[in-house]
Amino acid sequence: MENFGIGSWLQRRRPKSGDKTALIAGDRKLSYEQFADRSRRLANALRDRGVARGDRVAYLGENHPAFLETLFACGQLGAIFVPLNSRLAPPEIRFQLDDCSAAALVYAGDLATLARAAAEGTALSNLIAVDGTQTDGGTAVGGGPVPNAAAEDYEAVVASGSTEPIDEAVTLDDGAMILYTSGTTGNPKGALLTHGNITWNCINVITDFDFASTDVALMISPMFHVASLDMGVLPTLLKGGTVILEPRFDPQRTLQLIERHRVTTISGVPTTYQMLCEHPEWPTSDITSLNKLTCGGSAVPLRVLEAYEARGLRFSNGYGMTETAPGATTLPASRSRDKAGSSGLPHFFTDVRIADPAGGPVQQGTVGEIQIKGPNVIREYWNRPDATAGSYADGGWFKSGDMGYRDQDGFVFVSDRLKDMIISGGENIYPAEVEQAIAEIDAVGSVAVIGVPDDKWGEVPRAVVVVREGASLTEQQVRAHLDGRLARYKIPKTVVFVDDMPRTASGKIRKKDLRQKLFPDPAAL
């Protein structure tokens, strides 16, 4: 084969595991043979509709087989897959469609209204609506007639495609996927992941987490996030295991699925694991099949650790970002206690260093910027040479913007977020984006958005606002202004009004001083 990218995986897997179940979605099962056949048909159908090598194909929807069929179809054509966050508002999605100049948009039927609003005014030439359902009691994916007359039906498109093999010459250096990461200065940037970035990340995961062909991975986190897709789904498929796709997380259903399908691995964030162990059916559910629990986003609370340890389970925590595809470090489950609070050691084929402001090494235990290098690290942002140039230190080290240190054993500890990013329930929120939207309100003189602790979500955004002299503004008005402009998880849960802001000599708001001024007692948060 001339295709050495991820688009060849299903065709290479077909003769080895053809009859084995690859995907389960509700009561629907797809063998590797069926999965490979459908993705090949879709690839040919997309080519018939003008999609060619290097073109971008976007997908808008929750976890569904069509997501992965589209991904692998793109890989066969040498096209670039662009997963979109279905929790975003129409203007946010429209920006991404325009930025990548998407040639096609595949979307879930139940998101037709969102898709239509986002696609309005773009140059999209192909709209394809997925109208599938799950019928075993799971949450519906799509369902009902597609209300967008301009869109083709996904199943009809797949059926129209030829089974003729496609062997486009694709190398590991070719672009495979664009994932948008929220920008610190407004619009998000598209991180261009190559086939090599994804492949090497999967090799790291398989090596460090001992993935096997017998694994059954339950996906309770959305695949439009790189952690779910690249740390769970793709390594499992590379090894020939089985992936169970759930469109939305429900703790009771998750416990039932673990028992029914003898699930071995789950990828999630602390909030999901907390909701599982706090569910009334937790003590009586059979979860003895589980042997790998991977967690990212933030540290697992002690009470959650203890709840799982009582059932004989431990977590592998980790640190990473979209630009590292995403794994940078992982904390082995065996060290979850004696290295509590650590993000672990670098992945097998990834290097991590701690650098001072000048780019030099720091002493053990000294805080500096976390920088990452390896074949899983992106080399560029889509059409953003300025952002690309500013993201790398000498020697090709990617500057994470996060601060941390290494202990005497080489374990990495993340101590602060240089870019002020807020992680809420596993979702990344950049204050600058929210601040920019709030600043559109005429009554706002200045605004700062900070993260505050939350028992359920880990962190939630809080807006601190100075109202212009002679104007008036309420918390409800701020939230109403943001509704529809930003994803709901980005909208501050609370708004605090102050008379002034602590600032630097250059006029920048000192967020650290602001937190201390407003909330000198951490318990007050």
- Can you list the pairs that 90-93 forms with residues at least 24 positions away whose Cβ atoms lie under 8 Å? 90/114, 90/117, 90/118, 90/120, 90/484, 91/118, 91/485, 92/188, 92/486, 92/487, 93/60, 93/118
Q: What is the CATH number of the domain that holds 370?
A: 2.30.38.10
Which of 386, 417, 448 terminates a domain? The answer is 417
Note whether 24 and 18 are within 8 A (CB): no
What's the rounded Cα separation, in Å, for the pair 273 and 271?
6
Give the three-state DSSP class for 53: coil
Instruction: Take residue 211 and report the two structure tokens written for it.
Output: 């993935």
For the chain, count helices (H), then strands (E). 16, 26
Considering the domain boundaries, does residue 260 fall inside one? no
> Tell me, what's the pLDDT at 509?
81
Note whether 248 and 221 are within 8 A (CB): no
Q: Which domain holds residue 41?
A: 6-203
> Tell me, what's the pLDDT at 520?
67
- The residues of the chain scoring below 70 in pLDDT are 132-149, 182-186, 416-419, 504-508, 520-525
> Tell me, what's the pLDDT at 523?
47
Q: What is the CATH number of the domain that holds 491?
A: 3.30.300.30
416-445 pLDDT tens trace: 666 677 889 888 787 878 988 998 898 998
> Tell me, what's the pLDDT at 431?
84
Co-location of 448 and 361 in the same domain: no
> Tell me, what's the pLDDT at 513?
84
Co-location of 385 and 516 in the same domain: no
> Tell me, what's the pLDDT at 426?
84
Co-location of 175 and 41 in the same domain: yes
Considering the domain boundaries, does residue 234 fall inside one? no
> Tell me, what's the pLDDT at 133?
43
Cα radius of gyration rounded to whole Å, the chain: 23
> Tell me, what's the pLDDT at 417?
66
> Tell me, what's the pLDDT at 146?
38
DSSP 80-149: EEEEE-TTS-HHHHHHHHHHHT-SEEEEEGGGHHHHHHHHTTS---EEEEE-----SSSPPSS-S--S-T
Co-location of 445 and 332 in the same domain: no
Considering the domain boundaries, does residue 270 fall inside one? no
What's the rounded Cα separation, in Å, for the pair 515 and 449?
10
- Using a pLDDT cut of 90, give the percent of the chain over it: 75
Domain count, the chain: 3
Q: What is the CATH number of the domain that holds 118?
A: 3.40.50.980
> Tell me, what's the pLDDT at 140?
38
Note whether 91 and 84 are within 8 A (CB): no
Helix (H) / strand (E) element for 210: namely none
> Tell me, what's the pLDDT at 416?
65
Angular region, 61: left φ>0, alpha ψ -120 to 50, beta rest: left
> Tell me, what's the pLDDT at 147?
41
Note whether 403 and 119 are within 8 A (CB): no
Instruction: Take residue 287 and report the two structure tokens written for it.
Output: 């979860």
> Tell me, what's the pLDDT at 329?
97
Residues 6+ apart with CB under 8 A from 340: 299, 302, 305
> Tell me, what's the pLDDT at 419?
64
End-to-end Cα distance, the chain: 58
What's the rounded Cα separation, in Å, for the pair 58 and 54?
13
Considering the domain boundaries, does residue 209 fall inside one? no
Which of 145, 171, 203 terminates a domain? The answer is 203
Considering the domain boundaries, does residue 255 fall inside one? no
Note whether 80 and 57 are within 8 A (CB): yes
Residues 6+ apart with CB under 8 A from 518: 464, 496, 498
> Tell me, what's the pLDDT at 524?
47
Co-location of 28 and 61 in the same domain: yes
